[in-house]
Amino acid sequence: MKKLMIASAMVVYGGVAAAQGYAGAVVALTKLGSGCSGTLSCDTRGVGAKIYFGSKLAKESRFEFGFGEVDAVEFGVMSFGKGSYTYSKDYVNGATGVPFTLDASTVNTANALVASIVARVPIFDGASILVRPGLAYVSSTQRYYVAGVQNGSETTTKLKPYVGLGLEYSLVDKFKVVGSFDWTRFDAASQKVNLMSLGLGAEIGF
């Protein structure tokens, strides 16, 4: 995790030293998971945030693809909030052998470090669509509760694919309003969980 942070920061810092840098922040609605089958109740929606830093590439390092170009690299930190699931779990009394059922729940939380390139497609003066393919170093935690009492937890950190989509509009010089959709995933307790974020924020150049 530290190596990824240091390497990404060096890439961004190096780009800022040679070209224009920028930073942004987004507040987002998030979703952890994609279904609630087999549960008594679930809440997969939350509130998250993203802070990111980037650098425009030097002109000779940009990649043009006809209707746009890859012109920047970015490094960001994301919080996906939390999601929870409640279900029934069967137990057996060890002393009497009598079966009984209790409500149990799982609470998922996730955060990620992301690094990506930025492909920019202009749509009209001052506005562009962005595509951000990259990698996310995802730290996810599942906490388990039985009858309202915590009964263990599991934390995993894994490198996962990341895709971001964005829309930006320049209001004044070096200040933009931005919208973003971000996707990655985490694996925990043999479950593959999608992480999605839809947000609105602002960006400033320096």
Which range of residues forms the domain containing residue 135?
A: 2-37+45-81+110-139+160-205
pLDDT tens per residue across span 85-126:
888 888 788 888 888 888 888 888 999 999 999 999 999 999
- At 188 the pLDDT is 66
CA dist 15 and 13 (Å) reads 5
- Look up the CATH number of the domain holding residue 131: 2.40.160.20
CB 80 within 8 A of CB 110: yes
Residue 150 in domain: no
Q: Which whole number is the average pLDDT over 134-144?
A: 92
Number of domains in the chain: 1
pLDDT tens per residue across span 18-74:
558 999 999 999 998 766 777 788 888 899 999 999 999 998 899 999 899 999 999
- At 35 the pLDDT is 66
Residue 101 in domain: no
Question: Given a cut of 80, is residue 179 above it in pLDDT?
Answer: yes
Q: Does an H or E element contain 17, and which?
A: helix 2-18
pLDDT-based confidence at 147, cuts 50/70/90? confident
CA dist 55 and 117 (Å) reads 10
